[in-house]
Structure 1
Amino acid sequence: MGQQESLEVSAGLRINPRQQRAHEKIERILDALASLLHSQDAAALSMAAIAREAGMPPPTLYHYFPDKLAVLMALAERTMQRVDSQAEAALAPFRLSGGHDVDCAALVASIYQAYRTEPGYVQVLRACNSSQELKQIAEQSNQRMADVLVQVFASSLPEAAQVGVRRIALMMAQSCQVHLDMALSQTDDGEAAAIVQEAGNMIEVLYQHYRVAYLGSAAR
Structure 2
Amino acid sequence: MPEPAALPALPGALRTPQQARSREKVARILAATARLLEELPPDELGTKLIAAEAGVSIGVLYRFFPDKQAIIVALAADWLEQFVSIAEQAVADPLPADPAELTGRLLDAHAGFRREQPGFQRLWYGSMPWAALREEDERNDRELAELIRGALVRGYGYPDTPEFGRRTHLAVKAAGQLLNLAFEQDPQGDPGILAELRLMLERWVLGRSVTQG
TM-score of the two chains, using structure 1 as the length reference: 0.76
Matches within 5 A, 1:131-210: 131-155=130-154, 161-186=160-185, 188=186, 192-209=190-207
- Counterpart CA distance in 2 for 1:94 and 1:212 is 26
The SS at the match of 1:27 is helix
Deviations 1:112-145 (A, max 9, x none): 2212212521233338634333221111111111
Tell me, in whole angstroms, the C-alpha distance in 2 between the residues paired with 1:109 and 1:190.
12
Work out whether 1:59 is the aligned partner of 2:59.
yes
Matching residue's letter, 2:25:
K
Q: Which residue of 2 aligns with 1:68?
A: 68
Gaps of 5+ in 2: none
- Please report how far the alpha carbon of residue 157 of structure 1 lies from its aligned counterpart in structure 2 after TM superposition: 8.9
Q: Could you say which residue in structure 2 is the equivalent of 1:120?
A: 119
Task: Report the residue type matching 1:82 in the other structure.
Answer: Q
Distance 1:30-1:190 versus aligned 2 partners, 3 A rule: closer
The alignment status of 1:88 with 2:68, answered yes or no, reads: no
Is 1:44 aligned with 2:41?
A: no
CA distance in 1: counterparts of 2:170 and 2:126, whole angstroms:
26
For these two proteins, the number of residue pairs brought into alignment is: 209
> Which residue of structure 2 aligns with residue 24 of structure 1?
24
Instruction: Output the CA distance in 2 between the equivalents of 1:100 and 1:191.
Output: 23
Cα deviation for residue 96 of structure 1 reads 8.4
2: distance between equivalents of 1:210 and 1:66?
A: 50
Q: Percent identical across equivalent pairs?
A: 25
CA contact (8 A) 2:90 2:105 kept: no
* Preserved CA contact (<8 Å) 1:95 1:151: no
Q: Distance in 2 between matches of 1:127 and 1:72?
A: 16
Distance 1:7 1:142, change over 3 A: farther
3-state DSSP class of the match of 2:12? coil
Letter in 2 for 1:153: L
C-alpha distance in 2 between matches for 1:53 and 1:72:
14
What is the identity, as a one-letter code, of the residue corresponding to 1:147? E
* Shift, 1:82, TM fit: 1.0
Q: Partners of 2:209 and 2:93 in 1: how far apart?
A: 17
**Residue 123 to residue 196, structure 1, CA distance change in 2 (3 Å):** same
State the distance in 2 between where 1:45 and 1:86 align: 28
Instruction: Pick closer, same or farther for the CA change 1:130–1:33 going to 2, 3 Å.
Output: closer
With normalisation by structure 2, the TM-score equals: 0.79
Distance of aligned partners of 1:102 and 1:93 in 2 relative to their CA distance in 1, 3 Å threshold:
farther
